[in-house]
Structures are given as C-alpha cells and as structure tokens.
Amino acid sequence: MKTNISSYNWVIRPRPNPQAHLRLFCFPYAGGSSFIYRTWPDSLPTSVEVCAVELPGRGKQIMLPPYSRMEQLVDAIAEGLSSLIATVIHPYLDQPFAFFGHSMGGLVSFELARLLRKKYDISPVHLFISGRRPPHISDPKPPIHNLPEPNFIEEIRHFNGTPPAVLENAELMELFVPVLRADFAVLETYIYHPEPLLDCPITVFGGLQDARVDCDLLQAWQEHTNADFNLHILPGDHFFLHSAQSLLLEQLAKYLPH
C-alpha cells in the first residue's frame, strides 16, 4: 500500500510555536491519534513545540488507509517529514528535534530514528520511549491482529485502553477495528534487524502496574544507545501516560531545553 504523502500533513501542532528551539514529535499508541497530545504544550517549556504525528486512518486522516507493516509506515513518515525540510511554511526538521512514543509509538519512533540517520543523516537529539518492550525482545504472546472480530474485540478489551462505550458501539467499532488490526499487524509482523547503536540519549518511562512491560524489559532499551540512558517508573498500568500525565511531563521536561 502506498499513501500519497503529498496529499496531507503528517503533523498536528496543538499550539504552533515558531519561537521554539526544539520540536518534540509525539507518536501514538495502537489505535491512538494526535488527540492524545493535545494538552501537552500546557506542561512543557515554551522553548518546545509539540508536534503530534497523525497516522493514516484516524483524526484528520481518517479517510486514508492505515499501514499494516512497520517498514512501510516508517518509510512514509520519514518521507513525509523530510520532504518538509526545505519548505517555508512547515520546516519541521530544520532545527533540533526529539521523539516521544508510547507503546506502538515507541517502536515506530525508534525505527524512524534509525531510518532518518541512514537515509538523511539526521537524528533526534533525544529519544523518549514509553510503555514499550525493546525491539530485540519479541513478545511471547500470540498475535491477535488476524483473529475473528469477536475474539479480536475481546482481546482489545483486556488492554484497558478503549472505553467500554466505544467497544459496545457497533458503528464506532466498524471504523475503529480496521485501524486497530492494522496497528497490531505493524507490531506483530515486525522483525528487528541489528544496526549501529543510536548516538542520542534514550529515556524510558514505564508503568509500575503495567503487566505487559516490566522494569527489566524497559531497562534493556539501554542496549540501543551509545549515549546516556535513563529509566523512570511511574504509577499506573499500561496507559500511565494518561493517569500519570503530570508526573510524566514533569520528568520529560527535565531533559528538554528551557
């Protein structure tokens, strides 16, 4: 599948900030959209511009088909962002930038950092990973993206990230299930290929009650950088970025320019 990258904008800026010294690109979890990060500028330094990445199939891009393979998705994001380097209106990569990704977004941001380095010789100044196992350790749980719909929806219910009102709304789920299936396919068909370590610092966040990603898994992200590594464990389950958002942003802000 090939999306026409020039036909839409990959980036949603909740609060445009042309005076910012750094852009923080934020990547959503499976099924999530840029809406997750709409309030983040309220709690981060004014020197930082939050740039939420909008993936196809959701938000303002709801009419575009979602990607179901990591390589295709990351290639498309890289092309979409790098094609804006020289533009006057939205020059996203013309100054220092950092990545933040939660769960699926963490893996996407990691692979995007590696691709930008290899293809364009540019890198984020910091990589923030949240609630995601490291790429070199595969998930022992069986894949769910190809399950029959009732079973798939039941598995999604166990993740505790989709409101019951959405799960029980047939019309909403008709729109939501294809996006979720595609996102889980991105994760469950992913194959890690070793490359040179990243030169940027990696800071990892985890939830104390996250049964899917424990502290040992989070610590293993240290194996992917030549630079500084930091790990912060916050209260909450896999979706601690919502329940402990203020604590998360307080810690994240310490690594960003003021």
**Catalytic positions, please?**
103
Q: In sequence order, which residues have a C-beta less than 8 Å from that of residue 134 and are 6 or more positions away?
A: 217, 218, 220, 221, 223, 224
Of 233, 242, 203, 193, the residue nearest 38 (C-alpha):
242
Cα–Cα distance, 195 to 35 (Å, whole number): 33
Classify residue 125 by burial, with Cβ atoms within 10 Å: 0-12, 13-18, 19+.
Answer: middle
232 within 8 A of 205, measured Cβ to Cβ: yes
